[in-house]
Amino acid sequence: MELFRDFLIHNFFLFCLTLAVIFMVLRSYRSKRIFVMIPIMVVSLSLLLSLIYFFEQLCRPYDNLVFLSTLFCSLGFIIRPLVLYLFMRMTIDKKPILITAWVLMSINMVIYLLALLLFAPELTHVIFYYEGGEAILGPLFYTCHIIISIMVAYFVVYSIYSLKGRHKYDALACLICGIFVGIAVILESLKLAEYLLNTTVAISCLFYVVHLYQQASIRDALTNLFDRRAYYYDVSKMESKVSGVIFIDVNSLKWINDNQGHLEGDNAIKTVARIIYDSLNYRHMDAYRMGGDEFAVLITSTNEADIDKTVNAIKNGVSKSPYTAAVGYAKRTSPNQSVDELAKEAEKMMYEDKSNYYKTAGIDRRKA
Q: Digits of tens for pLDDT over the chain (368 positions)?
A: 666 676 676 677 777 777 777 777 766 655 555 566 778 888 888 888 888 887 877 777 777 777 777 778 788 888 889 999 988 988 888 888 899 999 999 998 888 887 777 665 555 566 666 666 666 677 777 788 889 999 999 899 989 988 877 788 888 999 999 999 999 988 888 878 777 888 888 888 888 888 888 888 889 989 999 999 999 999 999 888 999 999 999 998 888 988 889 899 999 999 999 999 999 887 889 999 999 899 999 999 878 888 899 999 999 999 999 999 999 999 998 888 899 999 999 999 999 999 998 888 777 665 55
Neighbours of 55 (CB within 10 A): 18
Rounded CA gap, 330 and 308, in Å?
10
The verdict on domain 2-217 having CATH code 1.10.30 is: no
The pLDDT assigned to 111 comes to 82
Structure confidence at residue 121 (pLDDT): 59
pLDDT score of 69:
75
pTM above 0.75, yes or no: yes
pLDDT at 130: 66
**Domain 228-367 listed as CATH 3.30.70.270:** yes
Angle at CA of residue 309, ends 308 and 311, nearest 5°: 65
Residue type, 350: M
Domain range summary for the chain, segments of one domain joined by +: 2-217, 228-367
Which DSSP string corresponds to 226-276?
A: B-HHHHHHHHHHSTTT--EEEEEEETTHHHHHHHH-HHHHHHHHHHHHHHH
The predicted pLDDT at position 129 comes to 66
